[in-house]
Amino acid sequence: MELFKKTSSIDFLKIRYFVGVTSALLVLLTIWSLATRGLNFGIDFTGGTLVEVGYPEAVVLEDVRDALEKGGFPQAQAQHFGASTDVLIRLAPEPGKESAKLSENAMQALRAQNPAVEMRRVEFVGPQIGAELAEQGGLAMIYALIGIFIYIIVRFQWRFAPGAIIATAHDVVIILGVFSLFQYEFDLTVLAAILAVIGYSLNDTIVVYDRIRENFRRIRKASSYEIINIAINQTMSRTIMTGLTTLLVLVALYFFGGKTIHNFSLALILGILVGTYSSVYVASAIALALGVSKADLMVSKPEDDRSGAQP
């Protein structure tokens, strides 16, 4: 028992009500922003024009983006396609302009910088495809949350499941709120990042839940409040190390990975920070509020069969 008392040095749950109110306010702010500003969907969802161009020698993407911006395409995306001499350009749709006209204007802007550039192909992505992608992405997140709910009930106990679901949904909502509030572009890479955050957040929550269950079975004289606090302290070093090492990679990607994965890295960074916080102050606090106790996690032992002991 002394070992557990030494381990539990920080009373994380002491400020759970303050943190809960803060989280609720952030969620309300997100709902307001989504309702009034919406998300700045990228070409993957809104539709647009894809232009593949070829250069006689390797080209720097920043030069391509500068040329397009000077030509009136500030939101155009450019990335290498197969080789450093091939570039794939995505142009957002403009009211009153056809896809063919947009591609012509883009080529004029590129040729003003390098006359040797040539067009390889042009494709138009309709908004219907983008709507289907948005719908399928939303369904993927809903199915993931349903799967998490069933998994937690089977592995732990029903009082743990709402906390895991609310914590995971909380992380997704906060990320959407940041992208809506600051109007960062939301494309398929960001959607992929959010799905990855769901897995990361759940994994962090499961680690804490596992330790809570273990402590309920090992510590006899302690309240649920104390046991959950001990579990959070015991897993904190693992949580910090995992989060920091992951953040080091993501920060490097954010600053040096290029514009193509900029928002992807940002969504993951937000997910790591918010996911770590929600595992402690959302998932664990909700489990405590629902009254999880030692009796819920103790393995029942079948009564001894004494029929053979009768004379």
Please determine, for residue 91, whether its predicted confidence score (pLDDT) is greater than 70: yes
pLDDT in tens, 68-85: 888 888 878 888 877 788
Domain edge (last residue) among 69, 101, 125: 125
In this prediction, residue 80 carries a pLDDT of 81
Please determine, for residue 303, whether its predicted confidence score (pLDDT) is greater than 50: no
Query: Higher-confidence residue: 156 or 176?
Result: 176
The structure's pTM equals 0.77
Please determine, for residue 298, whether its predicted confidence score (pLDDT) is greater than 80: no
Domain edge (last residue) among 125, 160, 190: 125
Number of domains comprising the chain: 2
pLDDT in tens, 181-204: 998 988 888 988 998 888 888 888
Q: Do the domain assignments include residue 308?
A: no
Q: Facing residues of 207 across strands?
A: none
Helices 161-181 and 127-155: crossing angle in degrees, nearest 10, is: 150
Query: Higher-confidence residue: 119 or 42?
Result: 119
In this prediction, residue 2 carries a pLDDT of 42
As given in the structure block, the two tokens for residue 66 are 């500068």
Q: Are residues 211 and 228 in the same domain?
A: yes
In this prediction, residue 36 carries a pLDDT of 93
In this prediction, residue 173 carries a pLDDT of 93
All residues at 6 or more sequence positions from 24 whose CB lies less than 8 Å from its CB, including other chains:
none
Q: Do the domain assignments include residue 311?
A: no
Q: CA angle, corner 186, sides to 185 and 190, nearest 5?
A: 120
Please determine, for residue 151, whether its predicted confidence score (pLDDT) is greater than 80: no
Q: Do the domain assignments include residue 61?
A: yes
Average model confidence (pLDDT) for the chain?
82
Domain boundaries, position 222: 2-39+129-296
Q: What is the DSSP string of the chain?
A: -HHHHHH----GGGGHHHHHHHHHHHHHHHHHHHHHT--EE-HHHH-EEEEEEE-SS---HHHHHHHHHHTT-TT-EEEEESEEEEEEEEE---TT--HHHHHHHHHHHHHHH-TT-EEEEEEEE-HHHHHHHHHHHHHHHHHHHHHHHHHHHHHS-TTTHHHHHHHHHHHHHHHHHHHHHTT-EE-HHHHHHHHHHHHHHHHHHHHHHHHHHHHHHH-SS--HHHHHHHHHHHHHHHHHHHHHHHHHHHHHHHHHS-GGGHHHHHHHHHHHHHHHHHIIIIIHHHHHHTT--HHHHSPPPPPP--GGG--
pLDDT interval class at 304 (50, 70, 90): very low
Query: Higher-confidence residue: 103 or 9?
Result: 103
- Mean pLDDT, residues 96-113: 83
Q: Do the domain assignments include residue 310?
A: no
pLDDT interval class at 7 (50, 70, 90): low
Q: Do the domain assignments include residue 305?
A: no
Q: Are residues 170 and 211 in the same domain?
A: yes
Q: Are residues 102 and 243 in the same domain?
A: no
Q: Are residues 291 and 180 in the same domain?
A: yes
pLDDT in tens, 133-150: 667 777 877 887 788 778
Q: Are residues 179 and 266 in the same domain?
A: yes
Q: Are residues 191 and 261 in the same domain?
A: yes
Q: Are residues 26 and 117 in the same domain?
A: no
Pairing of strands 83-91, 118-125: unpaired
Domain edge (last residue) among 77, 105, 125: 125
- Residue position matching structure tokens 């090492």: 245
Please determine, for residue 278, whether its predicted confidence score (pLDDT) is greater than 60: yes
| Separation in Å, CA 230 to CA 18, 161, 233 | 20, 20, 5
Report d(CA 196, CA 192) in Å as an integer: 6
pLDDT interval class at 1 (50, 70, 90): very low
Q: Are residues 52 and 172 in the same domain?
A: no
CB-CB contact of 133 with 44 (8 Å): yes
Percentage of the chain with pLDDT > 70?
88
As given in the structure block, the two tokens for residue 145 are 């949350």
Q: Do the domain assignments include residue 302?
A: no
Q: Are residues 121 and 140 in the same domain?
A: no
Q: Are residues 209 and 108 in the same domain?
A: no
Looking up residue 140, the CATH number of its domain turns out to be 1.20.1640.10
In this prediction, residue 299 carries a pLDDT of 53
Q: Do the domain assignments include residue 257?
A: yes
pLDDT interval class at 8 (50, 70, 90): very low
CA dihedral 258, 259, 265, 267 (to 10 degrees): 180
Looking up residue 83, the CATH number of its domain turns out to be 3.30.70.3400
In this prediction, residue 251 carries a pLDDT of 93
In this prediction, residue 129 carries a pLDDT of 57
Q: Are residues 158 and 28 in the same domain?
A: yes
As given in the structure block, the two tokens for residue 44 are 């993957």
Percentage of the chain with pLDDT > 90?
16
Q: Are residues 221 and 277 in the same domain?
A: yes
Query: Higher-confidence residue: 309 or 10?
Result: 10
Residue 206, sorted as left (phi over 0), alpha (psi -120 to 50) or beta, turns out to be alpha
- Mean pLDDT, residues 27-40: 92
- Mean pLDDT, residues 151-173: 83
Q: Do the domain assignments include residue 309?
A: no
